[in-house]
Amino acid sequence: SPEEQAFQDRIDAGERIEPRDWMPEGYRKTLIRQIGQHAHSEIVGQLPEGNWITRAPTLERKAILLAKVQDEAGHGLYLYSAAETLGESRDEMTQKLLDGRMKYSSIFNYPTLTWADIGAIGWLVDGAAIMNQVPLQRTSYGPYARAMVRICKEESFHQRQGYHIMMKMARGTDAQREMAQDALNRFWYPSLMMFGPSDKESVHSAQNMAWKIKINTNDELRQKFVDQTVPQAEFLGLTVPDETLCWNEEKGGYDFAEPDWNEFFEVLKGNGPCNAERIGARQKAWDDGAWFRDGLSAYADKQQARRMAAE
Amino acid sequence: SPEEQAFQDRIDAGERIEPRDWMPEGYRKTLIRQIGQHAHSEIVGQLPEGNWITRAPTLERKAILLAKVQDEAGHGLYLYSAAETLGESRDEMTQKLLDGRMKYSSIFNYPTLTWADIGAIGWLVDGAAIMNQVPLQRTSYGPYARAMVRICKEESFHQRQGYHIMMKMARGTDAQREMAQDALNRFWYPSLMMFGPSDKESVHSAQNMAWKIKINTNDELRQKFVDQTVPQAEFLGLTVPDETLCWNEEKGGYDFAEPDWNEFFEVLKGNGPCNAERIGARQKAWDDGAWFRDGLSAYADKQQARRMAAE
Amino acid sequence: MTQTADVTASALDEALVQWLLRIGDTSLILGHRVSEWCGHAPVLEEDIALANTALDLIGHTQMWLGLAGQIEGKGRDADALVYRRDAMHYRNLKLVELPNDDMAITVMRLFLFDVFHQALIEGLTQSKDPRIAEIAAKALKEVTYHLERSSDLVVRLGDGTQQSHDRMQAALEHLWPYCGEMFWSDAVDETLADAGLAPHPDRLREGWLATVQDILTEATLKAPEGRLDVHLGGKVGRHTEHLGFLLAEMQFLQRAYPDADW
Amino acid sequence: MTQTADVTASALDEALVQWLLRIGDTSLILGHRVSEWCGHAPVLEEDIALANTALDLIGHTQMWLGLAGQIEGKGRDADALVYRRDAMHYRNLKLVELPNDDMAITVMRLFLFDVFHQALIEGLTQSKDPRIAEIAAKALKEVTYHLERSSDLVVRLGDGTQQSHDRMQAALEHLWPYCGEMFWSDAVDETLADAGLAPHPDRLREGWLATVQDILTEATLKAPEGRLDVHLGGKVGRHTEHLGFLLAEMQFLQRAYPDADW
């Protein structure tokens, strides 16, 4: 249609789409799904890290971790707001999260078993997230792009803090080094999975790229992540759990083993180590908090009625 | 009345009263209250000790503590059964416990704050309990007297185990000795309170003694307890927290300070450190367990119906 | 004369260390309880606000206990004090160690404490000890904000639905008998007050009662009739059964890996 | 020849230690979870029975881990193994570390485990290692009784009220994906099985399924259709997030007072 053509022309010209602009239904729906899923990931992502707040080994680490988890809740807030500009409310999206109609990043279905996991999440998981998110600062939808700018800035702090934890552990006692290596072993492949399966031939992907909702292919980002991360692991003196890993001079990047995509799809289906726990925790927070939310909104209604009566 | 006289004659002759025998209403009521309160004390008494089962410092200590708490539940069972022979059901008594119409020993309203408290409870609290219970093996009501025989046998084990914990602590590291002394400091006066205020001139008491429901006065028992316990504390190298304590050659016993009876009555009124917690825990167990008890009795009904249908 | 002055100075320092442990431990344990909500709050804004409160309180802990360790002079820093003391050596108020249970308890506890805390910190900005005054000055804006926020929530939830009202009232009844410990004092408090280092706890009671009463009235809640001071002892190391579990969790890594650096 | 035999013996011992940690840790952690009910069970008879089960399991732990320490030969006794290992060195099944939640989970877990445990212990009475056979012989009567009791409860609660039925069914669905780990095996299990020391876990699967199915049918419950083996890893030290908290609590005294004797 001419409208669609005009819309595509604006995108091609590098213009930002804003909430009141006309947009194709597919663009709107895809964005709601993508931004909503990203928001949910921030929210659910509080849980594996929150798991160690009460056990952080020093006051400073505790404060840093608290601040990080708080940032994630803040990111969730920006992102829900961005999605709401597209016409879906936060509560609707939350319902869809709880009943399984919307997803969150599968990485958060893995448990945090030692303090080193908090380091690994910052280093690897936030590292992968940044890799995904940096290009999205140039995404075509204005509110989303602006949210990404704020988020990327904070995420890079988080990544550095995570790497610092890993450094302390990798250069610490034998027990600490063992935990650090074990964390890398457990989080390496799930981190690679964060970019999703190869999408070279996906039609869906092509449309999203045309719309500038997606900027790079999954494989490009994954390669970039590996190339960035392997030297960091070497610097820590840790071993990436991939015997096939080696530098490929020709392509100027590492060759590496694919993660087990079967595991990826199993986790997606709900068979990850913590799927039930994560959604269970969010459901419990939602249910237990109903009286609280109801109380606040009843008060707001009363206040409004009082104001109106006073006029 | 002639019945009452005959009843009293039997008691004076040292006969045992059995469930089907005639008895005065006051005797029945007093016994239900006394046995029920004793049963409740066993049940509530599981809580302060149970608090340390998951944190017992060795497997052997854990096993001993588990066995002890299990014994207490068992004592509760005998005692409820003894009270049931007098016509009040366990569930009725439980309701009275939960709504405050029946009491349990106030000592269990004190918290267990360190592992030494587990020792102190065995040594002092079980010690005081035995002092109370040994004479009750000769009480006039048969089922109660027989329950007491079983209970006293087990309690004396518990007391020895408790004393053994104290010994290990008192002769252990500085930190352990500090915990042991602190436990004695906190449990000394509450243990003295376990015998109740002086009842020398209580009419109530006199009747109970005539009925052989009560054998000794509270003050007699308290004196006996102090005389037994002070040398034990000395042997441990611990200091009884009573500066006035001294041997009275003339009476052949220790002079000692009275506990703060004001505190006693406050705890009785519900203002002890753990009253709300203890009853709250029992209420929660009762409420959370409703579906379980209902399930079992529904099954029993179905089985009965099936048997009848099959006949 | 000099010797007497020295003895006095050392006695003052000893009291000061105890006093700093009390305020530092109280911040720490309350911060810990609040941090347990992370990711589990009833609404995202609360996740953020509670994390923020916890962060402030952990920050205060670092300052108070850092100073305590410094004055004590035995080489213990804030982390050593936090991670290597057992319950009987903790000096926090019992009020702050009770479990969160639900948001009603959490909000009500924050409110009841914040009223006291704000007045205390404000008083401490006038401390004759510049180290205390400085910490208080840093904390004042935060604790003032805490109080604003918790009072506001108490009003909104108290005057919300019947259920939210009832839960807030029940929370108030539950916590009330623990509040008296905030105003309880012993020689430590006397010493600090006499030296002009800290307001006497007793002096904060009346203001607390007045503010609490105002907010409760606005919240359509009723102040309980029972005693405020049923549950004392935290300030001298006699805690509830809850603290041991909290510390076992909090201290695990430092206890299990005593040689490690984090 | 001798040297090869020596290497083999030492490899066998290594596998044996791992295997003993698995069975010992599983007993320990299940015993711990069961012991959490003390004083909180829905009916007094259950308080007694659960304490009894916990006691049996702690007793088994002492024997299995005692033997593990002895064969390991590094001077660690059962207490050292229990109180001084962190989660990643624990080898228990994930099934037993899940929280109790409610009595439905507790009873259903005991049942699902007891069916396996009884068959395993019975098989172990035939072990070619007399130390194992002896422990199994001591434990057999107890685990047989555990199974009787838990099967009976599953039937009565499954076929009780609608609510007790639904709770038991929900517990079954919750626990089912953890059950496959009981039959999962690696080189450790192969080595033990090849040497005639322990039944191969795989060989216990069919009998387990049959017994479980029988009891579930009697209990009017339905075996879930999903995979049994979703949650593996406990046997090689990859646990759930719950184990760390459990250990922090359990190990507190030994960690906080490393020099003390109890």
Residue D38 and residue B286: Cβ atoms within 8 Å? no
Q: Which chains touch C (3 or more CB pairs under 8 A)?
A: A, B, D
Percent of chain D with pLDDT strictly greater than 70: 97
Q: Which residues of A touch C69 (CB under 8 A)?
A: none
pLDDT at D4 over 70: no
Q: Inter-chain contact A295–C83, Cβ cutoff 8 Å?
A: no
CA-CA-CA-CA dihedral for A190, A192, A195, A198, to nearest 10? -110
Tell whether the model's pLDDT for residue B230 goes beyond 60. Answer: yes
CATH topology of domain D8-256: Ferritin (1.20.1260)
How confident is residue A204, by pLDDT bands cut at 50, 70 and 90? Answer: confident
Secondary structure letter of residue D89 according to DSSP = G
Determine the residue of chain C that is closest to D258 in CA distance.
C255
> B262 to chain D nearest CA, in Å?
30
Q: Which chains have at least 3 CB atom pairs separated by less than 8 Å from chain D? A: A, B, C
Residue B122 is given by DSSP the state I
pLDDT band at A249 (very low <50, low <70, confident <90, very high): very high
Structure confidence at residue D1 (pLDDT): 42
| Both structure tokens of A257 | 């083993």
Q: How confident is the model at residue D146 (pLDDT cuts 50, 70, 90)?
A: very high
| Other beta carbons less than 10 A from residue C121's beta carbon | 23
Q: Model confidence over C138-147: pLDDT tens digits?
A: 999 999 999 9
A/D interface, count of CB pairs below 8 Å: 34
The per-residue pLDDT for A23 is 96
pLDDT at D6 over 80: no
Q: Give CA separation, B19 vs B86, B141, C44, in Å.
A: 6, 8, 63
Q: Note whether B touches D: 3 CB pairs or more under 8 A.
A: yes
Residue D5, pLDDT > 70, answer: no
In the predicted model, what is the mean pLDDT of residues A239-253? 97
Q: B225 CA to chain C: closest CA distance, Å?
A: 26
**Interface ipTM:** 0.96
C144 by Cβ neighbours in 10 Å (0-12 / 13-18 / 19+) ranks as middle
User: Inter-chain contact D88–A182, Cβ cutoff 8 Å?
Assistant: yes
Chain D residue at shortest CA distance from B44: D39
User: pLDDT band for position C2 (50/70/90)?
Assistant: very low
Between chain B and chain D, the number of residue pairs with CB atoms below 8 A apart is: 145
Query: Residue C6's pLDDT is what?
Result: 56
**In sequence order, which ranges of D73-185 are alpha helices (DSSP H)?**
78-83, 103-124, 130-158, 162-179
Q: Residue B112's closest CA among C87, D126, C110?
A: C87
- Contact (CB<8Å) D241/A182: no
| Average pLDDT of the residues in C232-237 | 97
Name beta bridge partners: A246. Answer: A255
Asked if B81 is an interface residue toward chain C (Cβ–Cβ < 8 A), one would say no
Distance separating alpha carbons of residues A254 and A272, to the nearest angstrom: 28
Of A175, A286, A298, the CB nearest to C161: A298
Q: Residue C60: closest CA among chain A residues belongs to which residue? A: A59
Nearest to B288 among D42, D45, D59 (CB): D42
**If you ran DSSP here, which 8-state letter would residue B246 be given?**
E
pLDDT of residue D8: 82
The residue among D25, D186, D198, D212 whose CA lies nearest residue D113 is: D212
Q: What is the largest CA-CA distance in chain B?
A: 77
Q: How far apart are CA C113 and CA C124, in angstroms?
A: 16
Q: Least CA distance to C227: which residue of chain B?
A: B271
Does the pLDDT value for residue C1 go beyond 90? no
Rounded-to-integer distance, Cα C129 and Cα C67, Å? 12
Q: Which residue of C has its CA nearest to A176?
A: C260
| pLDDT score recorded for residue B199 | 85
Nearest CB neighbour to D88, from listed A51, A114, A277 = A114
Q: What is the pLDDT of residue A201?
A: 74
Mutate to test the interface with C, among B52, B53, B113 (most CBs of C within 10 A): B113
Q: Is B109 on the interface with C (CB under 8 A)?
A: no
- Asked whether the beta carbons of residue B290 and residue D42 sit closer than 8 angstroms, the reply is yes
In the predicted structure, residue C47 carries a pLDDT above the cut 60: yes
For D3, how many CA atoms within 13 A lie in the half-sphere containing its CB? 0
Q: Which of D27, D30, D55 to mutate to test the interface with B (most CBs of B within 10 A)?
A: D55
Selected for mutation to probe chain C from A40, A62, A69, A112 (highest C CB count within 10 Å) is A62
Q: Please provide the DSSP assignment of D230-244 as one string.
A: SS--GGGT---THHH
Specify the pLDDT at position C5. Answer: 55
Provide the shortest C-alpha distance from residue B97 to chain D (in Å): 14
Picking from C107, C69, C130, C89, the residue whose alpha carbon sits closest to that of residue C247 is C89
Long-range contacts at B232-236 (CB < 8 A, ≥ 24 apart)? B232/B123, B232/B163, B233/B184, B236/B166, B236/B167, B236/B170, B236/B171, B236/B180
Q: Are C71 and C17 in contact (CB under 8 A)?
A: yes
Take residue C122 and report the two structure tokens written for it: 């404000």
What average pLDDT is seen over chain C?
96
A182 — contact with chain D (CB < 8 Å)? yes
Instruction: Look at residue C7 in the predicted model and tell me its pLDDT.
Output: 54
Signed CA dihedral, A251, A254, A255, A259: sign only: negative
Tell me if there are at least 3 CB pairs under 8 Å linking chains A and B: no
> Cα distance from D134 to chain C (closest Cα, Å)?
34
Predicted local confidence at residue A100, as pLDDT: 95
Q: What does the pLDDT average to over B209-236?
A: 96
For the segment A244-261, the average pLDDT, to the nearest whole number, is 97
Q: What pLDDT digit, counting tens, does each position of C102-111 carry?
A: 999 999 999 9
Helix (H, G, I), strand (E, B) or coil at C37: coil
> How many angstroms separate the Cα of C21 from the Cα of each of C68, C70, C85, C90, C178?
7, 12, 11, 7, 19
Question: pLDDT averaged over chain B?
Answer: 96
Q: What is the pLDDT of residues D79-90, one digit of tens each?
A: 999 999 999 999
Backbone φ, ψ for residue A253 (5° rounding) = -160, 175
- Tell whether C48 is within 8 A of chain D (Cβ): no
Output the pLDDT for position D2: 47
CA distance linking residue A88 with residue C4, whole number of Å: 74
What are the Cα distances from residue D56, in Å, to A91, B62, B67, D59, D60?
Answer: 49, 12, 10, 5, 6
pLDDT for residue B203: 77
What does DSSP assign to residue B121?
I
For residues C155 and C215, the answer to whether their CB atoms sit within 8 Å is yes
**pLDDT, mean of residues A71-95:** 96
Whether A274 has its CB under 8 Å from any CB of chain D: the answer is yes
Amino acid, res. B59: L
Q: Are D260 and B57 a contacting pair at CB < 8 A? A: yes
C245·D249 Cβ contact <8 A: yes
Per-residue pLDDT, C4 = 52
Which of C83, C243, C255, C259 should one mutate to test binding to chain D, selecting the residue with the greatest count of D CBs within 10 A?
Answer: C255
CB A41 within 8 A of CB A83: no
Residues A179, D88: C-beta atoms closer than 8 Å: yes
Model pTM? 0.96
CA angle D190, D15, D32 (to 5 degrees): 100
Point out which residues pair with B254 in neighbouring strands.
B247
Higher pLDDT pick, D5 / B2: B2
Q: Which two tokens stand for residue A273?
A: 């180590």
Q: Please answer yes or no on whether C86 and B114 come within 8 Å at the CB atom.
A: yes
Instruction: State the pLDDT at residue B205.
Output: 85
Question: So what's the pLDDT on residue B202?
Answer: 80
User: How is residue A68 written in tokens?
Assistant: 């990080």
